[in-house]
Amino acid sequence: MDEPRGAATRAARLVETGVALLCRLGALLGALTGLICFVLVCASVGWRYFLGQPQPWIDHVAAWLVVALVMFAAGETQRREEHIGVEVLTARLAPSGRRASRLFGSAAVAVTAAILLWEGLSTVAFSRMIGIATNVEGVPIWWVQTLIPIGAGLLLAAALAQIIVLACGIEPRGPESKAHHGVPGGRVE
């Protein structure tokens, strides 16, 4: 199906492309943090069970890396429309109903991400103000808490891009690997 042409459509696709690049970068950082977490846990096991020298700091850092992985990947997950959905219900809707449900879902995600962004920024500011530190020497807690507004910002950007595209009457682009198989909007039903 051909897309409607016009300045609004081009602008929506431009926003969508920019947000997709940011979300992919977030996913890359998430994958990297997952890999680092795996390496650290393996090293921890080695130190603890083979060398008899447990390294408790690794447990804390590994937990932070799991938070980083989730927050960095949230935007890309939204962009790909891979969050949990009730497709048993939405698949039975007419095309206009499916579009409305996708628009409502993206709006709900945007509101949630905006709240998470606002509260995350407030938490970081408060932690910086009172100087809370982690259990790891020299690491302030706000460094770790900064992951929350970063991830919320990525999630908000992805949801807003979907809202903009859907409001222009076009389908959001999903993952490129699916889009190349001729499925409109990159969705496999």
Give the pLDDT confidence score for residue 188 in this predicted structure: 40
Long-range pairs for 123-128: beta carbons < 8 A, 24 or more residues apart: 123/148, 124/148, 124/149
Closest CA relative to residue 187, chosen from 78, 76, 81, 98: 81
Alpha helices in 80-175 (DSSP H): 87-90, 95-130, 141-145, 147-167
Amino acid at 166: L
Count how many Cα atoms sit within 13 Å of the Cα of residue 180 in the half-sphere of its side chain: 3
Give the pair of three-digit tokens for residue 97: 């109903």
Contact assessment for residue 151 and residue 72, using Cβ atoms and an 8 Å cutoff:
yes
Residue pLDDT, tens place only, 14-73? 999 999 999 999 999 999 999 999 999 999 999 999 999 988 899 999 999 999 999 999
Give the pLDDT confidence score for residue 9 in this predicted structure: 87
**Mean predicted confidence (pLDDT) in 90-115:** 89
What are the residue boundaries of the structural domains of the chain, listed by start? 7-175
Contact assessment for residue 165 and residue 179, using Cβ atoms and an 8 Å cutoff:
no
The pLDDT of residue 172 is above 90: no
Confidence bin at 90 (pLDDT 50/70/90): confident
Residues 48 and 64: their CA atoms lie apart, in Å, by 20
**Mean predicted confidence (pLDDT) in 169-189:** 54
Residues 185 and 176: their CA atoms lie apart, in Å, by 10
Q: Which helix (H) or strand (E) holds 182?
A: none
Could you identify the residue written with the tokens 């995350």? 120
Count how many Cα atoms sit within 13 Å of the Cα of residue 87 in the half-sphere of its side chain: 7
Query: Which tops the pLDDT comparison, 169 or 129?
Result: 129
